[in-house]
Amino acid sequence: MARQVCPVLEIEAGQCFRSFPSMHPDEVDQMRQAVEAEGARVSIVGLGLDDWVTPTQRRTERERAAFVSPQLRAAKQLGAVGVRLPFGQPDRSLLRELLPLLHELDLVLYQEIQGTQGPGTGGYEQAMEALEDFSDQRLSIVLDSSMVTPQLPISYLEAVSQAGLPAGLLERVTTEWGSPETTAAIRSCLAEGQVPPNAMALYMTMIFRFGTWTVADLEPLLAHVGAVQFKFWDLDDSDGRVTRPIADLGAALDRGGFAGTLCSEWGGHDWWKGPEGATEMTLNHLDLVASVLDLPRAEQATRLGKERA
């Protein structure tokens, strides 16, 4: 993948290391050597944080910090510049515990916000207030472009149609995606038990993974964004549903002087039926992003990461 697609990689620690979450140094060394042997490097490492010791016993803040700390050291050993956790999971207390180690290791902790998360949703205000209060360059945000989904992906609409989504709702989400009435209809269909069992996984994707925000809605958080994941599901750009979010986000970030990292992430492999595999899809998406943002290929290679596994 590194040779064929892009030499700058984001990885998920839980998917790459048998010794996760303790992250044995020998295994980490082996991974770094393997990546470097392909002429590549790791940029950001996705961490994992299990908040619960048992179903009823939550870890203390120090126990949570102890769970994450070996992963931070492993990320540094890999040569990464940053690590990633879900938006809002590291609360104010945990951030306070981790900041000294982040400074010691010269790492940035990114909180990834995506899909339907955003202004007014659970935990959003608290997470943003903590970032503003700490005002520390070691704390930042990864913005996933799935927050800005102007229309549903064509391949997804085909998949939910084949899975038996009620025709009336299918027509609504196809033609009126993003309206409050459509959002209410989606939740009502679920509450009334009208979702076919074989369509449930796809349906939950529609509820949680496709955001209906506009770039204007997200302006207040853009100052805290240090990395962007351009999520794509397929490359059917009917009505600009693939390229418009890229262009709109790119313009807004440029206005704010953004100088962070960009990553291509394919999210549609769960239902993709086309002949192209992950490598070809990601290569084509990287070229598309570079074209929309007017990035020369050489710059693209240093700023864009590959698809996240």
Residue 88 has φ and ψ, to the nearest 5°, of: 90, -15
216 and 273 belong to one structural domain: yes
Share of residues in the chain with pLDDT > 90 (%):
93
Residue 287 binned pLDDT confidence (cut-offs 50, 70, 90): very high
pLDDT of residue 297: 55
Residue 296 has pLDDT above 80, yes or no: no
| Interval 24-50 mean pLDDT | 96
Q: Based on the structure, what is the number of domains in the chain?
A: 2
pLDDT of residue 134: 98
Residue 299 binned pLDDT confidence (cut-offs 50, 70, 90): very low
131 and 251 belong to one structural domain: yes
| Interval 89-103 mean pLDDT | 97
The CATH number for 259's domain is 3.20.20.150
116 and 55 belong to one structural domain: yes
Last-in-domain residue among 207, 229, 249: 207
- CB neighbour burial string for 82-119, b if at least 16 within 10 angstroms, e if fewer: bbbbbbbbbeeebbebbeebbeebebbbbbbbbbbbbe
| Interval 275-302 mean pLDDT | 82
pLDDT tens digit sequence for 46-91:
999 999 999 999 999 999 999 999 999 999 999 999 999 999 999 9
pLDDT of residue 309: 40
| Interval 139-164 mean pLDDT | 98
- What domain range is 107 assigned to? 8-151+211-305
Last-in-domain residue among 171, 190, 207: 207
Quote the mean pLDDT of the chain. Answer: 93
